[in-house]
Structure 1
């Protein structure tokens, strides 16, 4: 029987996207705004009160005190931003970036993030850094991205601490510094950033920038998973599957965590829960479910899922046996360097099956 891919661990986390700008507001802003009626905010805004303008924009954006209206939210953010309000400069950038109430326009978003960053907004600094890092609305410049991430990170902004850590650990165009990456991941993790917690757990589990420490890895995976982070759920699931870091093996708990992650679209977890269904490990054996999850993982480009889907087709498990289709999936996985897929292809070709 062919070998089946058993790799369980996540690779580098997907890069976090832009900050959720609209929710926080300036310190105390939402509490202060709650003290005023919509009519009072509207009157003060029309009289030129910049703070009231930003509160009014928030009200239109959130649909509080008045029906939600992104176009009016953008209008009032722009008015306040043009008068120098840093919070509104960041938020009108966000509106342009996402096409909320205005046509989507990366150049406009970039310009407003520049103004917000120059005024000291850590959120604008973070988002401007991401624009530089991705080459959106401007030429790609990872050095400028790193500078801006660091400025916001050193000011205590958790999302930039995570993003800087990721850049230092994984960006090819930046001098790698794993120890510094771990330091920034920890700063973000200590503030409750779930993705940083998952990344820190991964680094402790693999010994990347720190000595291998399964207890620390387990702790940070638990913290991330408790917040619903899909990478943390997947990696914690593996700890429960094999019994590591001080927890006893618990296949049912492993399957629960894999499923929670898989349902959020995490491709490696989709492959892993498929394996649990294939083996009847922690769940009832169910080839149809195994096949379904392997298909989803394969569609998401996961090499393990592609290998395991090939295995299902090769052996006729939950699907009609089809060697050609099996080879197709093995080749997709092999192109990503999956050793099990390469081995399975070699066996098939040596047996005179396929091309």
Structure 2
């Protein structure tokens, strides 16, 4: 039967109280199969089936409450329905609402915990991990991820790997993290693939192997995983596990950036700023860097260091006059402030508010780089690479560029931690059928 005929066929059965028909009809309304998309009707029929103990409907009803699809958003109600779907012992068919303290004498006790719906169990883990609708409890999150994982659920396996990777609710164990990532990755889960790539990239829980890192990044990237795309670009940029290709690097950086990945946007901005693999365009570079910074500020709740320079200074000052701004940068630089040193170096390099002086630019970038400023490290590397403002030195160029890349990787980890999980999942486009 085509999905287009589902809605009409199942209406009468749903109205007669058949829970499977109610669930299927809800999916039709949610996905616009043979009818107009209607989230309120979808939620209604998921609810009808849920009250009769339909596990998949209960999970989807929880999703509706989690995201406000057709109902008023309520994390508490979402968590209750995930509980109901995760452990049938908590819900007695025929009761009007999921009951989290179902008496042991309840007839539904015959359902074992493992008979719960694995997708809901993984979702319930996410609720506990983030404190959505329940008290935040990483140990309980691990419990539900593990139950889902033991049933072979890829989302649960990938998230359990994240917990082992970071020591969230369980003792940190990189070997077990890689193990669970692999199980998810081998099922085609893009998050497991990307995270397994990171393990091989860094030698975390597995022997470092750039060929394997490239393989898993590529599989994740081809499925649209934004961070995997950015890391695949890094592989092509450096020839890690593959033949070096500037065109492929820029292609994957762009794919990542267009999905809103902070690091993809920032790296693509660098490509345009430096004319690496694309025609130099400071306006396009500024646009990507601005987008990356805005996204980072939303994630962290505060300002972050600005990305590479464009036609305006890379460090805000109280003055809009270039000459006054240079004075402010110089004062900060002479006080030993890395950002001031970097900004003054940029002014020297670009002749902004002063005569261009590449030797002075190299001097100030180098001072900032010695304090661990990643953008300054990148600029020093580029100057050594080209011989501008200093004697050309390919070995030192690679040394500073590698320092900048390492610092970027550290920031990636911090952003991931602030975002709650390095394996955060997007909202599903469809609900289960």
TM tier relative to shorter chain: 0.7 to 0.9
State the TM-score, normalizing by the size of structure 2.
Answer: 0.64
State the TM-score, normalizing by the size of structure 1.
Answer: 0.78
Deviation, 1:53, is: 1.3
Deviation, 1:233, is: 1.1
Please give the per-residue CA displacement for 1:211-236, whole angstroms capped at 9, x wherever unaligned: 11011001111111111211111111
Aligned-partner Cα distance in 1 for 2:131–2:275: 46
Aligned-partner Cα distance in 2 for 1:102–1:163: 28
Instruction: Tell me the equivalent position of 1:5.
Output: none
Query: Does 2:299 align with 1:330?
Result: no
Aligned-partner Cα distance in 1 for 2:312–2:217: 31
Specify which of 272, 289, 294 is matched with residue 294 of structure 1.
289
Query: Does 2:173 align with 1:177?
Result: yes
Query: Does 2:303 align with 1:308?
Result: no
SS at match of 1:306: coil
Is contact 1:150-1:164 (8 Å) kept?
A: yes
SS at match of 2:205: coil
Inter-CA distance 197–325: structure 2 relative to 1 (3 Å threshold): farther
Deviation, 1:304, is: 8.9
Please give the per-residue CA displacement for 1:190-219, whole angstroms capped at 9, x wherever unaligned: 111112111111111111111110110011
Query: Does 2:80 align with 1:111?
Result: yes
Q: Which runs of 5+ in 2 are unaligned?
A: 89-115, 298-302, 343-370, 378-433
Deviation, 1:325, is: 7.9
Query: Does 2:199 align with 1:203?
Result: yes
Deviation, 1:311, is: 11
Inter-CA distance 173–117: structure 2 relative to 1 (3 Å threshold): closer
Aligned-partner Cα distance in 2 for 1:262–1:64: 32
Aligned-partner Cα distance in 2 for 1:233–1:325: 36
Instruction: Tell me the equivalent position of 1:41.
Output: 10
Is contact 2:62-2:80 (8 Å) kept?
A: yes
- Count of residues in correspondence between the two structures: 305
Instruction: Tell me the equivalent position of 1:269.
Output: 264
Aligned-partner Cα distance in 1 for 2:49–2:143: 28
Inter-CA distance 85–104: structure 2 relative to 1 (3 Å threshold): same
Higher RCO (C-alpha under 8 Å, 6+ residues apart) = 1
Inter-CA distance 304–238: structure 2 relative to 1 (3 Å threshold): farther
Inter-CA distance 229–314: structure 2 relative to 1 (3 Å threshold): closer
Alignment of 1:97-246 (within 5 A): 97-119=66-88, 120-245=116-241
Aligned-partner Cα distance in 1 for 2:221–2:6: 40
Aligned-partner Cα distance in 1 for 2:233–2:305: 17
Inter-CA distance 304–228: structure 2 relative to 1 (3 Å threshold): farther
Aligned-partner Cα distance in 1 for 2:157–2:58: 22
Aligned-partner Cα distance in 2 for 1:180–1:112: 30
Specify which of 255, 261, 275 is matched with residue 260 of structure 1.
255
Please give the per-residue CA displacement for 1:51-99, whole angstroms capped at 9, x wherever unaligned: 1111111122222222222212211111111111111111111111111
SS at match of 1:55: helix
Aligned-partner Cα distance in 1 for 2:160–2:47: 29
Aligned-partner Cα distance in 2 for 1:117–1:306: 45
Deviation, 1:297, is: 2.1
Deviation, 1:244, is: 1.7
Deviation, 1:250, is: 1.3
Cα RMSD, aligned residues only: 3.1
Query: Does 2:308 align with 1:339?
Result: no
Deviation, 1:289, is: 2.0
Query: Does 2:79 align with 1:83?
Result: no
Deviation, 1:290, is: 2.0
Aligned-partner Cα distance in 1 for 2:266–2:321: 20
Q: Higher Cα Rg: structure 1 or 2?
A: 2
Deviation, 1:177, is: 1.0
Instruction: Tell me the equivalent position of 1:281.
Output: 276
Deviation, 1:278, is: 2.0
